[in-house]
Amino acid sequence: GPAGDLYVEIIQTDHDFLHREGNDLHMFIDIPMTSAALGTAVKVETLDGEQEVSIKAGSSSGTVVHLKGLGITRLRGGGRGDLHVHVEIATPSKLDKAQEELLKTLAKARGEKLDDVKIHRSGDRHESSVFSRFKDAFSR
């Protein structure tokens, strides 16, 4: 037949738990507050199968663990993007009396007061580099 144009329509649907940004993938996981405090290793499903992710002790909500080369294959230039695992801490909303007492005992042992609140500008809590302190010293 005669030469003509071929049109291909590609429809991309959302994945159940992976979100794509360019060649990088993002996933969000919830871990118990005890696992965040003590550290843990969790298994997550990736495009390449199950992968173990180490969560460091003392991690907080918003921590991101980067897994190099587990994202989408780059079309030009080879290599792959990364998988970014965003950690959210699941704080229990209902405690029985024994659990409540354990948490109060822990707070007391750590010298924490239940009404102790620290107010800071957004991002200040994480800015402790030499450069940010240098910048702060000259901005006063």
Per-residue model confidence (pLDDT) at position 97: 97
Distance (Å, whole) CA 94 – CA 100: 9
Question: In this structure, is residue 9 part of a structural domain?
Answer: no
pLDDT, tens only, 4-54: 998 998 887 778 888 999 999 999 999 999 999 999 999 999 999 999 999
Question: In this structure, is residue 4 part of a structural domain?
Answer: no
Question: In this structure, is residue 93 part of a structural domain?
Answer: yes
Per-residue model confidence (pLDDT) at position 124: 59
CB neighbours of 106 closer than 8 A, spacing ≥ 6?
none
Q: Which of 41, 60, 47, 43 is nearest to 18 (CA)?
A: 47
Over the Cα atoms of the chain, what is R_g? 23
Residue 128, pLDDT > 90, answer: no
Residue 131 is part of which domain span?
19-138
Question: In this structure, is residue 13 part of a structural domain?
Answer: no
CB 82 within 8 A of CB 24: yes
Per-residue model confidence (pLDDT) at position 17: 85
Distance (Å, whole) CA 56 – CA 64: 11
Per-residue model confidence (pLDDT) at position 114: 80
Structural domains counted in the chain: 1
Could you tell me the CA-to-CA distances from 4 to 8, 10, 104 in Å, in that order? 13, 20, 75
> Quick one: CA torsion of 41, 47, 49, 52, rounded to 10 degrees?
-10
Q: Which of 19, 56, 51 is nearest to 39 (CA)?
A: 56
Instruction: Say what the pTM is.
Output: 0.73
Q: Which residues pair with 29 in a beta bridge?
A: 87
Q: What is the CATH number of the domain that holds 130?
A: 2.60.260.20
Question: In this structure, is residue 7 part of a structural domain?
Answer: no
Q: How confident is the model at residue 105 (pLDDT cuts 50, 70, 90)?
A: very high
Residue 81, pLDDT > 90, answer: yes
Per-residue model confidence (pLDDT) at position 140: 46
- Answer with the residue of higher pLDDT: 129 or 12: 12
Kindly report which listed range (11-20, 27-36, 73-82, 83-92) carries the lowest average pLDDT score. 11-20
Residue 136, pLDDT > 60, answer: no
Question: In this structure, is residue 125 part of a structural domain?
Answer: yes
Question: In this structure, is residue 52 part of a structural domain?
Answer: yes
Mean pLDDT of the chain: 86
Question: In this structure, is residue 3 part of a structural domain?
Answer: no
